[in-house]
């Protein structure tokens, strides 16, 4: 379903429960509620031991890798050991059942699938004659690292990311502002979500908006009452 269609559904449902003058919400604000609701629903599925469909996974097709020192601390002398680091921070993935939902890291053609490791294990693995030659990846400070210093320059990352639009930084569109006339409006993009969760998504987003509206109105009423009391 397109983002604009979901926003229209949430706006329509939200408008039924508030005063007419309070019904207009920005598209971006509603979208942010859809994103937070999507995260919660997906995490619930993982917590309940349920699976999500492959349609909910997204590919970052062109993640550019740059050369970086193994120890990125300005206070430590460079030791000549380099690995590869993603030029941009990766979109934040959804976390479920104590694991980050990144399904795979591969070369662009998909022929080589990299194994996952951790930063704490890198040094020992690089020195191992058994595993030192295998390409491995890990996440640190939101960047993706590969245990190689010259290959590959571009990779593909597949996962479930918190914001379905975050993948656009890793496409070939070349548009810095996704809402400009040079690129497709974010409203016309697909909102990546399993179809059987769409109704729950809309209802949950509406609930968050309604609770937020009630809190804001309560704060406004309390502030107005306090000002009136100060004048007496």
pLDDT of residue 185: 86
DSSP letters, 28-42, are HHHHHHHHHHHHHHH
What ranges do the domains of the chain cover?
3-53+188-224, 58-159
212: tokens are 């937020």
Quick: pLDDT tens for 114-150: 999 888 887 776 666 555 567 889 999 999 999 887 7
Strand partners, 159: 58, 102
For residues 15 and 203, the answer to whether their CB atoms sit within 8 Å is no
pTM above 0.85, yes or no: no
User: Which of the pair, 21 or 54, is modelled with greater confidence?
Assistant: 54
96: tokens are 């479920």
pLDDT at 17 over 80: no
Quick: pLDDT tens for 89-115: 999 998 865 667 799 999 999 999 999
Quick: pLDDT tens for 163-185: 999 888 787 544 445 444 456 78
Residues 6+ apart with CB under 8 A from 146: 65, 83, 84, 85, 105, 114, 135, 136, 137, 152, 155
Cα(71)–Cα(40) distance, rounded to whole angstroms? 36
pLDDT band for 213, please (50, 70, 90 cuts).
confident
């Amino acid at each position: 379903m397109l983002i604009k269609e979901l926003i229209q559904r949430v706006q329509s449902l939200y408008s039924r429960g508030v005063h007419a003058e309070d019904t207009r919400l920005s598209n971006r604000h509603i979208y942010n509620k859809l994103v937070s609701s999507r995260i919660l629903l997906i995490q619930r599925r993982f917590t309940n031991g349920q699976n999500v469909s492959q349609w909910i996974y997204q590919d970052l097709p062109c993640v550019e890798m740059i050369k970086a020192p193994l120890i990125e601390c300005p206070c430590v002398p460079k030791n000549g050991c380099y690995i590869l680091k993603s030029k941009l921070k990766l979109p934040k993935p959804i976390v479920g059942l104590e694991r980050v939902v990144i399904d795979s890291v591969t070369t662009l053609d998909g022929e080589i699938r990299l194994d996952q490791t951790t930063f704490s294990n890198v040094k020992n693995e690089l020195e191992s004659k058994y595993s030192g030659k295998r390409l491995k990846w890990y996440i640190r400070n939101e960047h993706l690292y590969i245990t190689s210093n010259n290959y590959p320059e571009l990779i593909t990352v597949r996962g479930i990311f918190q914001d379905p639009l975050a993948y656009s930084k890793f496409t070939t569109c070349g548009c810095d502002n996704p809402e400009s006339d040079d690129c497709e409006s974010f409203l016309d993009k697909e909102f990546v979500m399993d179809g059987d969760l769409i109704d729950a998504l809309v209802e949950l987003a509406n609930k968050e908006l309604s609770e937020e509206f009630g809190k804001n109105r309560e704060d406004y009423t309390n502030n107005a009452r306090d000002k009136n009391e100060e004048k007496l």
